[in-house]
Structure 1
Amino acid sequence: DWDLAQLGPDFLKEGIQFIQMASQKKNPFFLYYAPTANHFQRNLNGDYAVPAFLHGEPIRGASKYTDGQEGGEREDMVLENDVAFGALIQKLKETEDPRRPGNKLIENTLIIFTSDNGPNVGDNEGINQESGNLRGKKAKLWEGGHRVPFVLYWNGIFENGQINPNLLSLTDLFSSFARIVGDDLQPAEAQDSLDCLDYWKDPAKTDQRARYFFCHLGPPYENDGVAIRKMSKKVIIKGGLA
């Protein structure tokens, strides 16, 4: 009875239930929501496992490009993610905050939308439409392999649609979150994580800290390499640390 297309609906159901459960307590909560849609979610025949509906919204065959043309199965799965994310935000808007009577959870919740890597399609070192016309793809040190969407919303702090030019690694979330909740990290903790909270709050503030990227994966990638980046400049050394 296993139906791969129902993973998205099941994940969303669990996510909404978790928010509801958390709203019954006065403790802060953390929800890590990692849907599998548009991440190689295919049936044995190679077709994308797209649900017909999600949260009452049509998904299969419902996606469209900005010019009105119909999308395909992969675009349907992007739509699935969009509907799921919207449903979670709507739940936060509707749910009372037990720690702040008269307010909704959305008013005191930090929301982040991001991804883990660039698309696994296109050319290894060329310009790819799938990567937003950046060079390279997943598992490569070029921008197309590592530059991903990162959207923040926090009522009263991040809500004006600003674009922040500073560099951020997902490993930086550890130190940044620790500061938000008032946890003083010890010197041996999160050594590959930088606190970016000040740069989030003030996009005009320039983060000049140099960042190091090391990518070492086995076959079929065979892409040993190291990169050093400071602001808008990046040097890539093929052969890595050999």
Structure 2
Amino acid sequence: MTTKPKSRACGSFIGALLLIFANVFIPQNTFCQEKLQPNVIFILADDLGYGDVKSFNPEGKIPTPNIDRLASEGMKFTDAHSSSSVCTPSRYSILTGRYSWRSRLQRSVMGGFGPPLIGANRMTVASLFKKNGYYTACLGKWHLGLTWPIKDSTLKDGWGIDYSKPVKDGPTTLGFDYFYGISASLDMPPFIFLENDHTLGIPTVTKTWMRPGPAEKDFEAKNVVPSITHKAKEVIVNGFTKKQLFFLYLALPSPHTPIVPDKDFKGKSGVTDYGDYVMETDWAVGQVMQTLDSLGITDNTIVFLGSDNGFAPYVLPHFNVEKLGHFPSYIFRGYKSDIWDGGHRIPFIVRWPGKIQAGSVCNKLVSLTDFMATSANILGKRLPQNVAEDSYSFLPYLLNKTKKSIRPAIVYHSIEGYFSIQEGDWKLEFCPGSGGWESPSNKEAFKEGLPLVQLYNMKSDISEKLNVALQHPDIVKRLTSLMEQYIDKGRSTPGKPLNNDAKIDLWKKGYME
């Protein structure tokens, strides 16, 4: 088993300065060739709504001082989106720069025992950084599938796995030097930590967090955020002391269910346990920032922060924060799972002191899928034609090098596999309902005889209340043609046509009964 990074003392102030200066070099990128190449941290919260963050929703009831500080010191994106309104496909897109619906996963998400979704030969953001001399670490929620060693296929629910043997095809085979985390969501078994290609211990009991399953006897859901946060600090310190640039993908499992705030946060928000868990998520972000500050490497570290999708509505029956005046979807329609903006418009912040203007705001459309092309741009590298098929670099926005729109259009996907495409202010949805859990669901909408498509002008109708598809058939036709082109070409970026991994059904005709 690979030895995990160990925390070390930082040494003297002068030694720290020497380490910092030894830790940088001049990149070749057109936009930042005179700058120092940074460490890179991508913090991904789980189900954090746009309205959960105070700097995005001033009327919000939950304090988020650390995320707000990040926004005040960097650039806040008001029109940023995950590629999907649920987690597995969004994570696929972040790490590959490719829409997940081009893979075999056409709808829904994977479970904790699902097979690998990212192909073994596909370039990832991690392999890109590793190839360019970075130490790469993945911490937290993976949720992209693993190859578990099966000992008895007749035993179901995870008990047929030989947990004493290596787990294959995980993060360390896709460009990460180190992995510490959980296989999927915190409410999905197995309830056990993994380090690199092994579980830490053997499940011997059954535990339940929303779902029952095999668990290591000492594993407790409430300890996962603190454990992963501590490990993130170790990785940062380790990279600093070894004078090595690092890429840290920190995939927090919060504030996704189960809502399990640590005792230090219990009752702190005044907005139910959910608010407390959001505060713990904010605390984790603050711990990362504090570690960078203490080492003196804040200015040489670019921090990205986002969420994998919108707020989960199944929290409300137990923790109805909306009744208390807190609206996690802010002014947007829908929630996690839906094709409307509440499902995929997310809080997104990027901080790079001295390069990104503090307190700046970008109102342009961006996708988390763009992280890979942006990372390559930061490194000054050109990506091969057959990777990052749907990724556009937004580095020019970060460095205030352009006011023009970089993305010609952006595609969204709902939990049921329904599509939407947005070009400028016009958003076309290829379904009559939510495409997810919110009412009217597509089945309800079909029964009600609602139009088969929805068209909204997001400038004049940001809450998607007035469907104007019948009034603008020309726009519907144009955007439908563009969506079909993106499907048929196997990419939405310029370049040679590529193949999708599966047949794509734009209209989901089989779901219309």
Same fold (TM over 0.5): yes
Larger radius of gyration: 2
Q: In structure 1, what is the equivalent of residue 419 of structure 2?
A: 226
Partner Cα separation in structure 1 for residue 361 and residue 247 of structure 2: 25
Secondary structure in structure 1 of the residue aligned to 2:349: strand
Aligned residue for 1:152, secondary structure, equals strand
Give the alignment partner of residue 74 of structure 1, picking from 274, 285, 289: 274
Whichever residue aligns with residue 109 of structure 1, its letter is T
Identify the structure with bigger relative contact order (alpha carbons < 8 Å, sequence gap 6+).
2
Q: CA RMSD in A?
A: 2.2
Bigger drift between 168-177 and 157-166 goes to 157-166
- Within the alignment, does 1:88 sit opposite 2:288 as a pair? yes
CA distance in 2, matches of 1:117, 1:149: 9
Q: Which amino acid aligns with 2:506?
A: L
- Corresponding residue for residue 170 of structure 1: 368
Does the 8 Å CA contact 1:112/1:153 hold for their aligned counterparts?
yes
CA distance in 1 between counterparts of 2:401 and 2:428 reads: 24
The answer (yes or no) to whether the contact 1:110–1:153 under 8 Å persists in 2 is: yes
Shift of 1:71: 2.0
**Quick one: which of 283, 302, 305 aligns to 1:110?**
302
Q: Structure 1 residues 152 and 216, CA, compared in 2 at 3 Å: closer, same or farther? A: closer
Query: Kindly, what percent of the aligned residue pairs are identical?
Result: 29
Paired residues for 1:73-222 under 5 Å = 73-95=273-295, 104-121=296-313, 129-202=327-400, 205-207=403-405, 209-215=407-413, 217=415, 222=416
Aligned residue for 1:235, secondary structure, equals strand
Deviation of the 1:139 alpha carbon: 2.2
What is the CA distance between 1:235 and its match in structure 2?
A: 1.5
* Cross-structure match for 2:506: 241
- Residue 226 of structure 1, CA deviation: 2.3
Amino acid at match of 1:6: N
Residue matched to 2:65: none
Q: What residue number does 2:261 align with? A: 50
Q: Give a deviation string over 1:77-123, Cα, whole Å, max 9, x none.
A: 0110111111110110111xxxxxxxx21011001111010112189
Residue matched to 1:45: none
Quick check: 1:33 aligned with 2:250? Answer: yes
Assess if the C-alpha contact under 8 Å between 2:392 and 2:407 holds in 1. Answer: no
Preserved contact between residue 409 and residue 422 of structure 2 (Cα < 8 Å):
yes
Q: SS where residue 382 of structure 2 aligns?
A: coil
Question: What residue identity is the alignment partner of 1:72?
Answer: T
User: Are 1:20 and 2:237 an aligned pair?
Assistant: yes
* 8 A contact 1:136–1:143 mirrored in 2: yes
Distance 1:135 1:204, change over 3 A: farther
Q: CA deviation at 1:167?
A: 0.7
Letter of the structure 2 residue corresponding to residue 136 of structure 1: G
Match of 1:33, SS state, is: strand
What TM-score does the superposition give when structure 1 sets the normalisation length? Answer: 0.79
Q: TM-score, normalised by structure 2?
A: 0.39
Q: Is the 8 A contact 1:16 1:88 kept in 2?
A: yes
| Cα distance in 2, alignment partners of residues 39 and 144 from structure 1 | 16
Distance 2:401 2:380 in 1: 22
Q: How far apart, in 2, do the equivalents of 1:152 and 1:83 lie? A: 18
Q: Deviations over 1:127-154 (max 9, x none)?
A: x932112012112221111110001110
CA contact (8 A) 1:131 1:144 kept: yes
Distance 1:160 1:105, change over 3 A: same
Aligned equivalents of 2:221 and 2:369: distance in 1?
30
Asked if 2 retains the 8 angstrom alpha-carbon contact of 1:166 and 1:203, the reply is: no
Are 1:228 and 1:235, in contact at CA under 8 Å, matched by a contact in 2?
yes
Structure 2 contact 396–402 (Cα < 8 Å) conserved: no
